[in-house]
Structure 1
Amino acid sequence: MSELKEFVLKASCDATSGIVAAVTSYLADLGCYIAEMHQYDDEENKRFFMRAVCRIESAETSLDTVRSGFDAQAAPFNMKWDMTDTASPMRVLLMVSKFDHCLDDLLYRHRKGELPMEITAIVSNHKDLRPMAEREGIRFVHLPVNKENKLEQEAALLDIVKETKTDLIVLARYMQILSDSLCKELNGRAINIHHSFLPGFKGAKPYHQAHERGVKLIGATAHYVTSDLDEGPIISQSVQPVDHTYSPDRLVAVGRDTETVALATAVRLHLENRVFMYGNKTVVFK
């Protein structure tokens, strides 16, 4: 018996009656078994969100067949939708500078099969982490950035994205601010990790600021990249309790842990098509 074909359906539209019935009836008629389904009504904004994991049980049905007929079901609801083949992992490009903890954690989780992705390249504005990329047999691209060549290097980055057919960019402690034009180009396709439980301490040495203020919780925030620095739609956050005995160095160490957890969680949720961007926030089906 051949392996069942599986796909994920994501859909959103204005909330009204009949949406679930229309979608599930269509899938059932094509021999699709719905293995998992989540839905959410945003009552404040009258918006409906749905995610379904489906298996095609009919030998006569392909994913292309399901896709081609779905427009007719979606049109009456003005539905925004997407279907993704779970057998085809997303293509992901990682961006780093000198800090290695987030990159190391992502590579480990990928190696262990926790993150269903294909890493297309590691891009950095420094050469420090080249050995880490080469150890994993991953292409490393050095794109040094300064005020004079910033736009040129961003154009080179986009060329790499197009060449490798990259679906998602992960800024794993990439310490450069992206231009507004690049942020718009990568809308919904780039995830960043911020070393703070947003909203929180901004600027240099956030953990030292936290120490001076005697905070009792520290954390990290993974979010989509937008033109508003560190203000993009939040995907995942991680926090840990601390107290007055924590030195700045110990806070930094704990902070590294929260960063790796928040970023890895956000990447996994995106890879599994569990995140809907909606305005300046997200709907996440866990």
Structure 2
Amino acid sequence: MTAQTAPTHWILTLSCPDGPGIVHAVAGLLADHGGNITESQQFGDPYSGRFFMRVQFESAATREDLAPAVTALAARFEMTWNLDAAGRPMRTLLLVSKAAHCLVDLLYRERSQHLPIDVVGVVGNHRDLEDIAEFYGKPFHHVPVSKDTKPESEAALREIITESGAELVVLARYMQILSDEMCRDHAGRIINIHHSFLPSFKGAGPYRQAHDRGVKIIGATSHYVTGDLDEGPIIEQDVERVDHTHTIDDLVRIGEDTERRTLARAVRWHAEHRVLLDGHRTVVFR
């Protein structure tokens, strides 16, 4: 007797124009392939008219079995879709400048196996954080950036992304602006952390801006990167209360803790295929 193949836990995500029969069709396809659904979430956006779904299931079927069937179903409903093994660490490249808190937090969470990513390298436009990358056993790539060398620097970054096989790029307080072309080529695959509760206080020095305005709440925003500075689809936000006694340095200290938490959640949800793009917005299945 041949031993049965152990089932694989899969995650299928999809979006398409909303309409009747989508959930029934997806569930039927999975049942036809011996799939047992263990988690399912869906959302119909009345404003965009699109339907979003994330379904986790176990099945002995292989990708070669499932992909053609999903492709046929996608053609029927005009779907965009993705299929991946649940829990597979996503190959991730971290970009940094001089601030260490987000880098250290992500590397710690990866090592402690709380974050489903495989950090394949760290790119810094300064060498300040090279020792942290080395401590965690990660390749460090020094790619300096100046106004005159920006095209060459970005070409080097593209080469690192390609050679490392990175599926996700995280700007862990990387204080450089990527070109429109770079943003388009990696749409939905570059996550940034902005040290402000967007859309307020865009650009540089948001804590000084917040202090000048006497705000009572400061926050952090993690979003996908687009060619419009700090205006990409928002994945996660968090806030902390402050008052008139807090100095700018206090706001920075409080804000850094908020930033690392916010970024870690956004990276986790992306790696677990819980974030689907809905135009300039996101659908997040937590």
Q: Which residue of 2 aligns with 1:123?
A: 123
Give the whole-Å Cα distance in 1 for the aligned partners of 2:190 and 2:267: 10
Q: Which AA in structure 2 matches 1:229?
A: L
Match of 2:273 in 1: 273
Give the match for residue 133 of structure 2: 133
| 1:39 and 2:28 aligned | no
- Deviations along 1:95-139, whole A, 9 cap, x unmatched? 000000000111111111111111111001000000000001100
Equivalence for 1:8? 11
Give the counterpart letter for 1:272 in structure 2: E
1:25 and 1:39 map into 2 onto residues whose CA distance is: 16
Indicate the residue corresponding to 1:63 in structure 2: 63
Deviation at 1:38, TM superposition (A): 0.2
2:22 is the counterpart of 1:19: yes
Q: In the alignment, is residue 86 of structure 1 matched against residue 96 of structure 2?
A: no
Give the partner amino acid of 1:268: R
Q: What is residue 262 of structure 2 aligned with on the other side? A: 262
Q: 1:3 to 1:112 in 2, by over 3 A?
A: farther
- 2:87–2:116 Cα contact (<8 Å) kept: no
Shift of 1:215: 0.8
- TM-score scaled by structure 2? 0.96
Letter in 2 for 1:127: R
Paired residue type of 2:97 = S
TM-score (norm 1): 0.96
Matched, 1:97 2:100: no
Once the two structures are superposed, what CA deviation does each residue of 1:219-274 show, in whole Å capped at 9, x if it has no partner? 00000010000000000001011112212111110110111011111100100000
Query: 1:164-193 deviations in whole A, cap 9, x for unaligned?
Result: 111000000001111111111111110001
Distance (whole Å) between structure 2 residues aligned to residue 108 and residue 152 of structure 1: 32
Q: Following the alignment from structure 1 to structure 2, what is the Cα–Cα distance between the partners of residues 199 and 165?
A: 33
- SS of the equivalent of 1:35 reads strand
Cα root mean square deviation, aligned: 1.2
The answer to whether structure 1 residue 113 and structure 2 residue 116 are counterparts is: no
Percent identity, aligned pairs only, is 52
Q: Matched residues in 2 for 1:240 and 1:87: separation?
A: 31
Give runs of ≥4 in structure 1 deviating > 3 Å: none
Q: Which runs of 5 or more structure 1 residues have no equivalent in the other structure?
A: none
Query: Do 2:102 and 2:173's aligned partners in 1 also have CA atoms closer than 8 Å?
Result: yes
C-alpha separation in 2, matches of 1:38 and 1:24? 12
Amino acid at match of 1:120: V
Amino acid paired to 1:177: I
Q: Which amino acid aligns with 2:200?
A: G
The residue type paired with residue 23 of structure 2 is V
- Partner Cα distance (2:76, 2:33) in 1: 20
Count of aligned positions: 283
Alignment of 1:205-244 (within 5 A): 205-244=205-244
1:102 to 1:87, Cα distance in 2 relative to 1, 3 A: closer
In structure 1, distance between residues paired with 2:266 and 2:281: 14
Residues 61-103 of structure 1, C-alpha deviations (whole Å, 9 max, x = no match): 2122111222222221111111011253210000000000000
* Alignment partners' CA distance in 1, 2:229 and 2:68: 39
Structure 1 residues 25, 204: CA separation in 2 closer, same or farther (over 3 Å shift)? closer
Give the whole-Å Cα distance in 2 for the aligned partners of 1:258 and 1:221: 9
Cα 1:15–1:204, aligned 2, differ >3 Å: closer, same or farther? closer
Q: 1:233 to 1:25 in 2, by over 3 A?
A: same
Give the partner amino acid of 1:223.
Answer: H
Cα distance in 2 for partners of 1:222, 1:276 equals: 14
Structure 2, gaps ≥5 residues long:
none
Moved more, 253-262 or 239-248: 239-248
| Aligned partner letter, 1:170 | V
